[in-house]
Amino acid sequence: MRFDASDGSVFQNTLGSFRDYIMLERGCSDNTLKAYASDLGQWYSHCKRMGSDPMLLNPDNIARFLREQSARGMSKSTVQRNAAVLNSFARYLVYDGITEKMPILDPLPARDRILPQIMTEGEIQRLINCCEDGTPLGKRDRTAIELAYGTGMRASELCSLKLKDIDRGGGLIFTRGKGDKERCVPYVGGVRKAVDEYIDDHRPKLDRYREPWLLLTKSGRKMSREFLWRLLRKRGNQAGISPSRLHPHVLRHTFATHLLRKGMDQRTLQELLGHSSILTTEKYTHLDLEVRDLYDKFFPRSGT
User: pLDDT band at residue 177, thresholds of 50, 70 and 90?
Assistant: confident
Lowest average pLDDT, out of 68-77, 249-258, 278-287, goes to 278-287
Is 26:7 a contact under the CB 8 Å cutoff?
Answer: no
Which is the catalytic residue, given 64, 126, 178, 234?
A: 178
Q: What pLDDT, on a 0 to 100 scale, did the predictor assign at position 129? A: 97
Q: Summarize the confidence of residues 89-111 as an average pLDDT.
A: 66
Q: Can you tell me the mean pLDDT for 7-25?
A: 76
Assess whether pLDDT exceeds 90 at residue 71.
no
pLDDT bracket for residue 128 (50, 70, 90): very high
Q: Cite the residue boundaries of each domain of the chain with CATH code 1.10.150.130.
A: 9-95
121-298, CATH topology level: hpI Integrase; Chain A (1.10.443)
Residue 235 above 90 pLDDT?
A: yes
295 carries an active-site annotation: no
State the catalytic residue, choosing from 252, 258, 295, 301.
252
Q: Is residue 151 very low, low, confident or very high in pLDDT (cuts 50, 70, 90)?
A: very high
Average pLDDT over residues 78-99: 83
Please tell me the CATH superfamily of domain 9-95, with its number: Tyrosine recombinase, N-terminal domain (1.10.150.130)
> Using CA atoms in the order 90, 94, 95, 97, what is the torsion angle rounded to 10 degrees?
130
pLDDT at residue 100, rounded to an integer: 66
- pLDDT of 15 > 80? The answer is yes
Say if residue 61's pLDDT is above 60: yes
> What's residue 116's pLDDT?
57
154 tagged catalytic: yes
Q: Which of 64, 221, 275, 292 is catalytic?
A: 275
Q: How sure is the predictor about 285, in pLDDT bands with cuts at 50, 70 and 90?
A: very low
SS3 61: helix
Cβ contacts of residue 39 below 8 Å, gap of 6+?
81, 82, 85, 86
pLDDT in tens, 136-149: 999 999 999 999 99
Catalytic residue among 46, 139, 154, 203: 154
Neighbouring CB atoms inside 10 A of 27's CB total 15
Average of pLDDT values for 32-60?
A: 87
Query: What confidence score (pLDDT) does residue 302 get?
Result: 61
**209 has catalytic annotation:** no
Nearest CA-CA partner of 152 in 229, 255, 224:
255
Q: How confident is the model at residue 286 (pLDDT cuts 50, 70, 90)?
A: very low
Per the annotation, the verdict on 275 as an active-site residue is yes
Short-list 129, 182, 102, CA closest to 304: 129
pLDDT greater than 70 at residue 176:
yes
- Calculate mean pLDDT across residues 139-167: 95
The CATH 1.10.443.10 domain(s) of the chain lie at: 121-298
Catalytic residue among 247, 284, 295, 301: 284
Determine whether 181 is an active site residue: no
Supply the angle between the helices 121-129 and 225-238 in degrees, to the nearest 10.
100
Of the residues 72, 249, 262, 297, only one is catalytic, namely 249
